[in-house]
């Protein structure tokens, strides 16, 4: 045993005495050294091939509308019904005015919100008398004129849309406010409920106790809100529509989650505000790109 | 007529071609690397100049076209950026980094294009 140890030590000393290069070759052998060299070369090649640098960039997006002829902007109001706890008309006017003021894009006119629902009230407002056979079944309740209407989908808004094409009306409003750029439109903010299969990730542990995350499809009841605003930009000098844009955002939560309607409204508006602002001023979109060598 | 000088000349031309190409690639690479340095300092116009020079020196250098596209994008020259990205992808269709840049660019470009559709 002692002799064998001495022999090994001698062998090691002999190898070490020949310098690192020889020691290295004796440990790996010629085949091993070739493999290692090849691996190093491959790694070097890989590093050389994937030599890159990440760089932050800001892409300027030109405004969608030329607003140079206008000094002032008037967020006039929106066709929006009462839903949940949110007055979508008042909230949208307030939010857009404050955003425009903060960005200093144009001078914002601070005036009362126009009563567009009153102005645009459909002409055939008188309730249609029910058919005789229906009359016998149940009495039809006429809508309460003192309460604002409830809009649940786009069709509910249609009878009011004619107001936006009323050039004379908007020209008169323009004259009243010294011919600003007028912003109006409609805001549909409605609750929605959806059920179906949702894919989510679930933690599982296998028989060896290893953690894994696997996608699992589960049936879920979800509820939330849909926000569908249409922004119409009207020339206060002529009363004509310059630009119109419709957005749609929705948010869904677990059915047992209680989220206030107002916070959902702001979350959804927050998503589309950059696009709204980009109509009036150039925006810079921040991002990261890869530069290659 | 002796063919030997002709063959010799041809040999010289063929033999020197790869080295000439390597030299041009080397010069283009220098321009690309300098462009990256100045872009990192925010001097994008200088970077564009360098990367344009690199693409002229070596029109097969995908990285130069990619970088040029990024610079055009940063300057808001979206049409030029698209052309440069597409050239880079033509040269290196399987380059995942160029593809990723191009996908991100398209996302922004589509948003900008929507505005033209929305205009009445």
Q: Which residues of A touch B106 (CB under 8 A)?
A: none
Distances (CA, A) of A66 to A22, A104, A239, A281, B110: 77, 16, 16, 9, 20
Cα angle for residues A215, A218, A224 (degrees, 5° grid): 110
| Mean pLDDT, residues A126-143 | 43
Judge: A292–B97 Cβ closer than 8 Å, yes or no: yes
Query: By the 8 A CB rule, do A274 and A50 touch?
Result: no
| Mean pLDDT, residues A138-161 | 67
Judge: A293–B70 Cβ closer than 8 Å, yes or no: no
- Mutation target for B interface from A46, A50, A56, A57: give the one with most B CBs within 10 A: A57
Judge: A62–B76 Cβ closer than 8 Å, yes or no: yes
- List A60's β-bridge partners, or say none: A284
Each residue of A70-121: pLDDT tens digit? 999 999 999 987 566 788 999 999 999 999 999 888 999 999 999 888 888 7
Determine the length of chain A: 293
Q: Which residues of B touch A287 (CB under 8 A)?
A: 104, 108
Q: Does A245 touch chain B (CB under 8 A)?
A: yes
Rounded to whole angstroms, the Cα distance separating A105 from A273 reads 14
pLDDT of residue A133: 44
pLDDT-derived band at A9 (thresholds 50, 70, 90) equals: very low
Q: Closest Cα of chain B to A152: distance in Å?
A: 25
pLDDT-derived band at A2 (thresholds 50, 70, 90) equals: very low
Query: By the 8 A CB rule, do B70 and A55 touch?
Result: yes
pLDDT surpassing 80 at residue B118 = no
CB contacts < 8 A (A, B)? 75
Q: Which residues of A touch B51 (CB under 8 A)?
A: none
pLDDT of residue A126: 45
Of chain B, the percentage scoring pLDDT greater than 90 comes to 66
Please tell me which residue, B20 or A49, carries the higher pLDDT value: B20
Rounded to whole angstroms, the Cα distance separating A233 from A244 reads 6
Rounded to whole angstroms, the Cα distance separating B62 from B44 reads 19
Q: Look at residue A270 and give its three-state secondary structure.
A: helix
Q: Which helix (H) or strand (E) is A236 found in, with range?
A: none
Q: Does B2 touch chain A (CB under 8 A)?
A: no
Residue where the block lists tokens 């949110």: A86
Of chain A, the percentage scoring pLDDT greater than 70 comes to 72
pLDDT of residue A227: 92
Q: Does A131 touch chain B (CB under 8 A)?
A: no
| Mean pLDDT, residues A216-236 | 90
Question: pTM for the whole thing?
Answer: 0.62
**Structure-token pair, residue A136:** 């016998």
pLDDT surpassing 60 at residue A164 = yes
pLDDT-derived band at A288 (thresholds 50, 70, 90) equals: very high
Query: By the 8 A CB rule, do A252 and A224 touch?
Result: yes
pLDDT-derived band at A238 (thresholds 50, 70, 90) equals: very high
Q: Does A94 touch chain B (CB under 8 A)?
A: no
ipTM: 0.82
Distances (CA, A) of A79 to A96, A155, A231, A291, B20: 15, 13, 11, 48, 70
Q: Which of B55, B67, B60 is nearest to B28 (CA)?
A: B55
The nearest alpha carbon in chain A to B97 belongs to: A290
* End-to-end Cα spacing for chain A: 59
**Residue ranges in B1-120 assigned as alpha helix (H):** 4-40, 44-57, 62-75, 78-91, 96-118
Residue where the block lists tokens 């033999």: B15
**B26 CA to centre of own chain:** 14
């Amino acid at each position: 045993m002692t002799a064998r140890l001495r022999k090994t030590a001698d062998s090691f000393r002999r190898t070490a005495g020949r310098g690192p290069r020889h020691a290295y070759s004796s440990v790996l052998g010629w085949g091993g050294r070739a493999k290692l060299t090849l691996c190093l070369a491959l790694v070097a090649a890989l590093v050389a091939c994937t030599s890159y640098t990440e760089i932050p960039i800001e892409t300027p997006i030109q405004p969608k509308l030329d607003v140079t002829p206008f000094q002032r902007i008037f967020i006039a109001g929106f066709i929006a019904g009462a839903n949940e706890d949110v007055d979508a008309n008042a909230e949208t006017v307030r939010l857009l005015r404050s955003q425009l003021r903060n960005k200093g894009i144009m001078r914002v006119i601070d005036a009362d919100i126009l009563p567009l629902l009153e102005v645009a009230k459909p002409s055939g407002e008188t309730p249609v008398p029910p058919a005789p056979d229906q009359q016998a079944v149940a009495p039809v309740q006429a809508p309460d004129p003192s309460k604002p209407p409830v809009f649940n989908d786009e069709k509910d808004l249609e009878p009011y849309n004619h107001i936006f094409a009323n050039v004379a009306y908007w020209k008169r409003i323009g004259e009243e406010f010294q011919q600003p750029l007028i912003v109006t439109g409609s805001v549909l903010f409605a609750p929605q409920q959806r059920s179906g299969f949702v894919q989510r990730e679930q933690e599982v542990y296998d028989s060896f106790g290893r953690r894994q995350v696997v996608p699992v499809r589960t049936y879920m009841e979800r509820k939330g809100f849909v926000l569908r605003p249409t922004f119409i930009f009207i020339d206060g000098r002529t009363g004509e529509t310059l630009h119109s844009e419709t957005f749609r955002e929705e948010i869904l939560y677990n059915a047992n989650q209680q989220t206030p309607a107002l916070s959902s409204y702001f979350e959804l508006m927050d998503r589309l505000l950059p696009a709204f602002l980009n109509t009036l001023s150039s925006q810079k979109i921040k991002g990261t790109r890869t530069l290659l060598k | 007529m002796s063919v030997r000088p002709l063959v010799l000349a041809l040999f010289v031309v063929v033999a020197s071609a790869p080295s000439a190409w390597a030299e041009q690639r080397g010069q283009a690479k220098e321009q690309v690397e300098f462009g990256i340095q100045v872009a990192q300092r925010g001097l994008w116009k200088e970077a564009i100049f360098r990367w344009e020079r690199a693409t002229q020196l070596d029109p097969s250098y995908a990285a130069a076209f990619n970088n040029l596209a990024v610079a055009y994008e940063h300057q808001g020259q979206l049409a030029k950026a698209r052309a440069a990205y597409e050239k880079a992808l033509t040269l290196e269709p399987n380059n995942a980094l160029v593809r990723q840049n191009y996908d991100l660019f398209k996302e922004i470009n589509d948003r900008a294009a929507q505005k033209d559709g929305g205009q009445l």
